[in-house]
Amino acid sequence: MSAETFFFRFVDGESVALDVEAFRRAVEPYVVAGSVDAGEVLLRAEDGGEAEFHVPTDGAVTSLTAMHISLGAMPDVVAGIADALGAVIFPVGGPAEIRHEDERRHLPPELRGEAIVRS
């Protein structure tokens, strides 16, 4: 995956806050350094692949940033995190990735047509 990947959640075309507790539960088995409360976590999958997540710590969390997502098992871990958050994945330079077709209706209208389902 790209160097930076962003996660947003939409309801009826509007960006809404992400559930930080759901994020914490989803990443807990993979955290090897940092903490959600400190704003940075390093995750490691069972095959040794890694990803770093930046979590804003200054108010409502409306987006997350993942960096340096390894190939192998980590993309599946990242997809599971998106599922846990009901989030859309935005790889830099690519279309929005939704996990299920029924999520398309929640995207802003300008993103609906090009979004892809990545399950």
What whole-number percentage of the chain has pLDDT above 70? Answer: 98
pLDDT single digits (tens) 63-118:
999 999 999 999 999 999 999 999 999 998 889 999 899 999 999 999 999 999 98
pLDDT single digits (tens) 24-67:
999 999 999 999 999 999 999 999 999 999 999 888 899 999 99
Using an 8 Å Cβ cutoff, are 78 and 66 in contact? Answer: yes
> Please, which pLDDT band fits residue 1 given cuts at 50, 70 and 90?
very low
pLDDT single digits (tens) 108-119:
999 999 999 987
CB atoms within 10 A of CB 6: 17
